[in-house]
Structure 1
Amino acid sequence: MLSLLFFTAALAAPAVNNSSSAVCGAGSSIGTYTIRANDTIYSIATTLNRGVCPLARYNHLSDPELLYPGEVLYIPPEACNTNAADTSCLLSLQNSTTNDCIFGGPHTYRTFEGDTLRKIALGKFNITLEALESSVGRMAGVSSPDEIIEPNTFIKLPQCNPSSCGIKPLEYVWGTYKDLAEEYGTTPGQIFALNPTFNHSSTGPGVGGWITLPVNCGLEGETYTVVS
């Protein structure tokens, strides 16, 4: 279910839900917050007095730093605000990676707002920047690995052959794509690539939208070649 839905909830004084449940699941939200232009997950967390990752995981944000004005976030109760300083849900650059291809697939990736070659390679697919640049060539339309790529640009990904991933539907009720990737043996980028129109579930905490999840991605032999 696409999350880019627009709501009219008030910004300064969000409506408070009737539920008094302290459980971090369906019906536990204490209100809503409508994202404005120039908001970031950090500024919203500060405004709501919540941690970045408790807020992001409660709203099952694919990438907490990818927000759109008009989207509505649910405010978690204080009981859900554990480890408020945690940032492990955020995409981070894996600068030490030596991987030169992705396990399984897919073969193409559609870019999102804020994507750069560096973010895609090191932050989403855990492959070296050189490997991605070799595969992409001029497809990205940028002259620097840190230049923002136009959203909805299709680029090729280097794949390891032979390798594979399992595929399964998942009711996405908690966490970020980084959390899912670590739990299911894939990368955030592969989840993004298979769910290009999903940003976060608008169904609320504890109730999921359905996504396609690659699982247990890996090599099928001791040696491989890179194909792109």
Structure 2
Amino acid sequence: MQSISSDNLKGIDVSNWQGVIDFAKVKNSGIQVVYTKATEGTYYTDPFLKSNYYNAKSQNLYVGFYHFFIPESKESSINQAYYFISKISGLTPDCKLALDVEVTGGFSKTELSELANIFLIEVKKLTGMDVVIYTYSNFANYNLTNILDAYPLWIAEYGVNTPMYNPIWDSWIGFQYSDSGYVPGVSGGVDLDVFTSDILLNSSSIPNIQPNINNSEATGKEILYVVQPGDTLSEIASKYNTTVDFLALSNNIKNPNLIYPGETLTIYINSSTSSENFNSIYIVQPGDTLSNIANVFGTSVNSIVNVNSISNPNLIYPGEVLKIPSSTSSNTGNSNLLLSTYIVQEGDTLSQIALTHNTTIDYLVEINNIQNPNLIYPGQILKLYSSGNTPSNDSFTGTYVVKPNDTLSEIASLFGTTYEHLAELNSISDPNLIYPGQVLKIS
């Protein structure tokens, strides 16, 4: 493996964790390459994908996309390739399309490498563009095989100038050498990279690709539905036994009344044997386990597994969207919890958030595994819950996170209630004044 060189291109890789980025400051700091997360599995699109792309492009930065790989099956590898490309259709990357391989899914290294290879072959076939594999040094040593040596490497190893030996690759075109760097324009820590010029493409637009899944064909966990002329979100929700709110939140839809033909929606399908109901959703955070999540929300691991059709309870991923079933009577210790999540906004402090949500800084630190209470980031998703020692008229059956351009009357209409009721339930003094990221109780 070669060492970092002065003629390498300086880069960062980002996702929703970095929130809103000032790419003018990033450019002025000397950064030349920006990789932004596009997708994960066949169910998650990073909400900052398009904004990161256009804002970085406006500063003449080289832009690349990466897909977080969820190893499941050969069919899933192909579907993930279609999903990845469908979400970046029409965009013009400057850098090789990257596959992030860092979880095994319980597969052997031979099986995992074959599944990754299927994905990469499909991406190249769909786009005609070159690809690159991102992985960690230790992961490459123990979990991958040389079936992947035909692809260039973007390697991650921290605190060194030269990555360690691995038996598959003897050189890299990308090297992530820090996961906690500082770059002006980025809130908090960010991954730092260097790249050789081989990371660059002869730029051309991604072709318009539709996901390789029939509208009515379930994948076992979710389906991809292509919006047809005349469709409404409420009709689609009714057809698939879900809610407008859940479809809007899980597909990053800002205006539930505005969908368009050809748009691809991820729809989560309940297991045919499950009768579980859910009243909220939760986005998995780094370090989460299913048992911890179940405990926080006053439910059971089995209930979450059933309602989400999870095949392996020990395998969940950051960014995965989970439906949270209603608290069961067996969870008496947590049955009075008021449950929600909060998306950190620019200028927020933990003390303000704690005060607003009637909890304490120490409690938020504990349940969110926060190392430094003075360091939170715009876009960060915090778990919130408090004991139910509140007046009875504060009881509620779910939560809703306000999105840009939402109005209280529109939200009330979505949930079959009135804006006056929501205002009273949430102690809102001015019904015309709500803000993105605000968590509303819904009854």
Asked if these proteins are the same fold (TM beyond 0.5), I'd say no
Higher RCO (Cα < 8 Å, 6 or more apart): 1
TM value normalised by structure 2: 0.17
Q: Max radius of gyration: which structure? A: 2
Provide the TM-score with structure 1 as the length reference.
0.28
Q: Of Structure 1 and Structure 2, which has the larger fraction of its residues in helix?
A: 2
